[in-house]
Structure 1
Amino acid sequence: MPAEFYIPSASFAPRVLDNTLHHCDNFFKRDLELGFELVGMSKTYADRLEAFRKSDAERDALVAQILQDYEELKLKVGEISDDYRNEVASRRMWQAKAATCERELEQAVSQQKQVAVSISTSSQGYGMGKEGGAEAAHQLHKEVQRHLKAIYPDSNVDDWNMQVWETVVQVVLNLSGLATKLQSCGIIMSPNELLAFGRSFGLAQPLFSFVDVGGGKERADHKLREHLRLYLRIAQCKHVFFAPCHDNGYLPVLESYRREHSSRMTLIETRPAEPGYVELGLRRIQMPTLFRSDNLPGGPVKSMPTVALEAPANLAGMPNAVLSPQPKKLPNRTGLSTQAQNAAIMPKAPSPAPSNESNGSSWATIGKNGGSTKTINIAPQKKPSRKYILVNRYSERLDEDLPRTDPAAENRFQKRTETYGKHCNSYHLLGRCERGEYCDYQHGEKLTAGERLVLMHKARSLSCPKKIACADVICPYGHHCKYGGGHCYFDRCYYADTHTMDLEPAKRIYEDGSEEWLPNYLEKSR
């Protein structure tokens, strides 16, 4: 069926057009409104997007700042950690050192105890001279130890291997003044005896000293006061022995110490203590074997003149006999022999003069009828020193050091050598030469003491064939290198085989074969 087309009428068309236009208008109006709405939404999203972008940027910046701050803090924390570890290590190190020092200090305070002995008087219980000084030092050390055992019964004062107790002794005196006084009293024959006594006293014990302060009592007082003040302030000084009881001048000094240091002080009485010392209440002891209990005589002891007396009946057969009266007897410590203290029977002779060889000793002259006289020295004769050699602990010979030579003696010896030739060692040093007149070296006039010392030095530079095995006490030659292995500067030393030997003297071997250990070596090896 063919299609049919509807053709509206003329009246219908305007309405349709109006409706269409109305609908189109509405449509476009809605689209416009929708467009405006979309445009508004678009602006809102853009703003929000921009806001998000700003927020992201701020967040990124914040994160970046946080990361940067974190890295900086991380570095600072690392540095602080390193500093902390260093401080911990340093603190532990110093704590360990402090603990070590405290232990050492406690050990030193508990073990190293010194005993100070200050003496302002002279030892008179022993003979003067070298042997008397050494014996006095030994006995004083022994007495101090004995009293220390009584004062400190719980301490081992004899443990010298640990060197726990060391005794320091100071004898303060006017050497020349005391020597003159002792000589005037007849206790010594020469001031040199007191000098030898003091030197031997100091050498016998390594910490003993014989201090000469010269004339003036205030010098000795000042020295003793300062020593007392020093030792009482030292913690290691366990005890102080002080011998001032014959002089009231020390009472004010001791008064200031007696309250705080009374337990550490002991006074040594040489004679009965003055009342002021008794009132102090300090411990007092006596050492009668070492110190005089009475004062020295006020004036010099003059020798009594020889007086002619009536001869007893038993001397009737001796014409012109004279009885020398017995002088006042002195204590045994004066050193005079008992023969000199007894009466001496002498034939009367015209004013005999003392012999130059007597040196002020007692003497007696015996003669008959004014004839030829013979001088007899009855003073005690000094025993000749025994010859010896020094050896180390392995019995290897050691050479004693020779004194230094005098330049003037060296010049004289050199001129004599240039004039007469080289000197014979055997003749000038030993007093004999087996070759006699057939010797190739110069004998002639004896050398002086200074020139002989020069020759001894030259002979010492020659090597003994037996070296360290030599036992000849008068051998003048060298037996080992005097410089030792560490100090010898010779490329070819004659004593190279002795460079490693022990050079410390340990004992003496005398010419009769007897041996004696050196006290210093024994004390050191204990």
Structure 2
Amino acid sequence: MVSLAQFEERFAKLVNYEEEKYALIRRQLKREGDVSDMYQRRVEEIEAALKKKEQDIFVSVLIDGDCMNFLDEHLRGGELGGREAARGLKLSILDYVRHQFPAAPANLQIVIRIYANYVGLAKTYVEAQTVPNVAFFGAFINGFNKEDPLCDFVNAGDGKECADEKIRATFNISISNVHCFRVIFGASADNGYARLLGPHRDSEKITLLEGPPFARELAELATKLPTMSCSSVFRSCKILGNASTLSLTPPRTPAAQITPAVKYAAAAANAAVTPKGSQTIPGAPSRPAVALNRTIARNSASQRVDTPIQCSTGDIKAMKAKKLCNEFHILGTCKFALMGRPCTHSHGKRVSGHELEALRYVARLSRCPQGLACKDVNCICGHRCLKDPCRQGRLCFFPPEMHGVDIKIVSYD
């Protein structure tokens, strides 16, 4: 039989054991609590770091401004046009990223760098009569740079490879930057960049931006890499460096007709306009008997046909030199004036007679964005290339479907 003393001794040992067990459990719980707090702090630190990293995530947009030319409507808007171009480009990039990469950070930054030979590019735009002078182009660049702190048009210098070298250097920095979500590369007409992009043909960080059609080697890369376009900002064809290269060889004409000039306007006029007092150019649609002021002529394919205009090449050259506002003088209204914005072309007293006909021809040198299906009775733009044959190929402002159009009129809208 166990004595009371033995029982008390055993009870004391049991109590001591239980106290040690509870102490161990308390220490373990405290340790688990400390570990849990440590991991919670670590999670919070990681989340904060990820959030900060997302704030630093950016898309690098690299563009060769020498081969990616802006639309006339932006260039002719001066500083305001530059602002519109920067804003339109950024919105297009954001829209592309949001649709193609839904998981992209909401606060993604768009960093735009356009490198170009400023002097050479300004001269090209002036020769193409897109801007009146170099200073006007400078105003456009000023507006582009002022619109957004991350949008820069950079004068790369007048060396042949200056822009190329800067674009290559910036590309290499961007592609290796962990904060760079994507590189959007715009230099579609320059084969030289194929060597830069070739090693990255399997990259998941590059998108090719198309303005003019991709040069042959870049076209091959475009089958491997995703592509996008920004038709609201850039031309679909490149402006040639010298206005004289835009000229074409006119068809043979009788000696009594006006002698073709070297410049584009005169050559185009001889190719597609009937000078007063001379016979109708072969291939031009016959003048209909009905008035066409408010009707649209159609061919057998229901494509719009521009009715012929009779004017001399001299009048055409004179109208081009005056830089008149086509809309104001032809239609009596100007979209810029209606929006309360300054128009970069002359208004004044509206032209009439043979000057008006010549100005209508000048207006047709600009492609209608609606193309052959245009239903706007007040449209003054061209619905086919006036050069027949056209020797510009992909460089022509008019797309392939607006060449060789059947000009036989069979109906009117």
What TM-score, normalized by structure 1, do the two folds share?
Answer: 0.40
Relative contact order higher in (CA < 8 Å, ≥ 6 apart): 2
TM-score, structure 2 length as denominator?
0.50
